[in-house]
Structure 1
Amino acid sequence: MEFLSSRVIIHPRDRDRSLAFYRDTLGLAVFREFPGGTVFFLGNGHLELSGQGGHEASPDLALWLQVRNLADAAAELRRHGVVFAQEPRLQPWGLREAWLADPDGVRIVLVEVPPDHPMRLDSREP
């Protein structure tokens, strides 16, 4: 099986509120708009807001968003009024992380991969 593209789809309870959060607060660029939906660039993928949700977000779901500099990203989000569920800090597994949520409670983790982390190392044999 071959997959050509992917995106995460969120059905927000209040589309305008979620649109403002992802577009204005997080600063995601719009990839495409269509009647009833907006698709944002999200690093190597896309995030779609469409339809109408009727339930709180599952605590079993989280968006993992890598940033270049976590301190700078957190400071910018604070200027937009974001309150963090977990302030930026170095985790035991070596990543710098901060946790927040969108207006519907979708958990979002911002991640900075330090230069010496194994995710940045070339694992191929020399």
Structure 2
Amino acid sequence: MALNQVTVSVHHVSEAVAFYKGLGLHLIVHSPHYARFVCPDGLSTFSVHLHREGTFQPSTTTVYFECAQVDHAVSSQKAHGYVFEQDLKDKPWGWREAYLRDPSGNLICLYYAGQSRGYQRASTSIS
């Protein structure tokens, strides 16, 4: 099994498109109600869809985008007006992370894991 994409709800697709293109994602599908991006490194995709009136709930999900040059990525985003809730910080588990929100309030983490990979095989698996 492989993760194909993650989709988050947004208030305005056009604002979300500008935000995520600014982060460096490549737009591959765009309609008034939906947009899909491919991540520049790898095969994963990320989507946004317009919430239906009266159904929007604040997200409790955090979307993580790994950046090999996270310090440069964060400073570049700041220079382009992106506001971070938490600046870059080295975490005890070995990751370097910074957090910001998209225009609809979805929490986004830009990070670098280095040698602390989260997908190293565990001794047990889930079927």
Scaled by the length of structure 1, the TM-score of the pair is 0.78
Q: Secondary structure at the match of 1:94?
A: coil
Q: Does 1:78 align with 2:78?
A: yes
Q: Deviations over 1:24-70 (max 9, x none)?
A: x2121012334632210134421112233552532x20001100111
Structure 1 CA distance for aligned equivalents of residues 79 and 57 of structure 2 = 26
Aligned-CA RMSD value: 2.4
Q: Secondary structure at the match of 1:119?
A: coil
Q: Deviations over 1:60-83 (max 9, x none)?
A: 200011001111001110111011
Structure 1 CA distance for aligned equivalents of residues 80 and 56 of structure 2 = 26
Alignment of 1:88-99 (within 5 A): 88-99=88-99
Which segments of 5 or more consecutive residues in structure 1 lack a partner in the other structure?
none
Scaled by the length of structure 2, the TM-score of the pair is 0.77
Structure 1 CA distance for aligned equivalents of residues 45 and 25 of structure 2 = 10
Alignment of 1:27-42 (within 5 A): 27-34=24-31, 36-42=33-39
Percent identity for Structure 1 against Structure 2: 25
2:125 maps to what in 1? Answer: none
Structure 1 CA distance for aligned equivalents of residues 48 and 93 of structure 2 = 32
Alignment of 1:1-126 (within 5 A): 3=1, 6-23=4-21, 25-34=22-31, 36-42=33-39, 43-53=42-52, 54-58=55-59, 60-114=60-114, 117-119=115-117
Q: How many residues align?
A: 116
- Runs of 4+ in structure 1 displaced over 4 angstroms? none
